[in-house]
Amino acid sequence: MQLLTCDNVTKIYGSGEAKVTALDQINLSVNKGEFVAIVGASGSGKSTLLHLLGGVDRPSGGKIWIEDTDISTLSEEKLAVFRRRKVGLIYQFYNLIPTLDVRKNILLPLLLDGRKPDEARFSEIVTTLGLADRLNHLPSQLSGGQQQRVAIGRALIYRPALLLADEPTGNLDRKNSEETVELLKLSHSRYRQTVLLITHDEKIALEADRIITIEDGKIVSDEVMKR
Ligand SMILES: Nc1ncnc2c1ncn2[C@@H]1O[C@H](COP(=O)(O)OP(=O)(O)OP(=O)(O)O)[C@@H](O)[C@H]1O
Ligand SMILES: [Mg+2]
């Protein structure tokens, strides 16, 4: 079943002399439950693609279907709700709220929606992430790897249709990056989560089911890995 489809997606920044075509007519579909790595040189358009898929920014042209919604046509308000409920975004620098403890940071998407947390799911996530004894700590009281695990927890709390990670291990040492990738793989296998992961690390990319290479805003290779 297709979870995501990009139909001639283009993103142009600026105009005149400063015009940059960051994405040039991207066509792409991803099935539910796939684990996809996105690779390519710096400036090739990887983050731009992830931002469009996550509803953080809008395409200049083309359509993006997630499940049965064309997100390029959503109003600002509906797009904000889509972002919160349907996608989990994980960045290189964890983007946690410094004044909220671990529990609140993870539950934030639910709290913003005025929803009551599912305590069983919360407890399963924090146990899996090895954060159960850090729930009352602030982000500044955690290691980099722990902070990234909180960001993963926050991304997973809503059971999003799509988990998007932009170089989530870029700021971590080898051990913590391996742990982070293991947790992404675990959420993929345990929760059948669809994952799109941008990485510069070839070893990490080779763990994915499929590797998409972007060059100058175009997909130049799309390879399903044989196991
Ligand atoms: N807000 C913006 N305004 C203008 N140009 C932008 C903006 N964001 C990105 N670009 C340009 O779009 C192109 C693609 O950028 P993008 O951030 O998607 O690259 P990337 O593949 O993620 O690179 P990196 O590996 O360095 O993170 C680059 O040429 C960049 O300069
Ligand atoms: Mg980037």
120 lies in a domain? yes
Q: Which ligand is closest in space to the CA of residue 13?
A: 1
Which of 46, 51, 201 most suits a substitution to test ligand 1, by most atoms within 8 Å of the C-beta? 46
Burial 124-156 (b: 16+ CB within 10 A, else e): ebbebbebeebbebbbeebeebbbbbbbbbbbb
| Protein residue whose Cα sits closest to atom 25 of ligand 1 | 42
Which residue's structure tokens are 């927890």? Answer: 153
Q: What's the pLDDT tens digit per position in 137-191?
A: 999 999 999 998 999 999 989 888 899 999 998 888 888 888 888 888 988 888 8
**Centre of ligand 1 from the C-alpha of residue 199, in Å:** 15
24 lies in a domain? no
Average pLDDT over residues 78-92: 90
126 lies in a domain? yes
Q: Which domain holds residue 158?
A: 33-59+74-211
Number of domains in the chain: 1
Q: What's the pLDDT tens digit per position in 5-56?
A: 999 999 999 999 999 999 999 999 999 999 999 999 999 999 999 999 999 9
114 lies in a domain? yes
227 lies in a domain? no
pLDDT of res. 111? 92
Global confidence as pTM: 0.92
CA 46, 196, 165 angle in degrees (round to 5)? 75
CATH code for the domain of 149: 3.40.50.300
pLDDT beyond 90 at 195: yes
109 lies in a domain? yes
For ligand 1, what atom is nearest to the CA of residue 14?
4
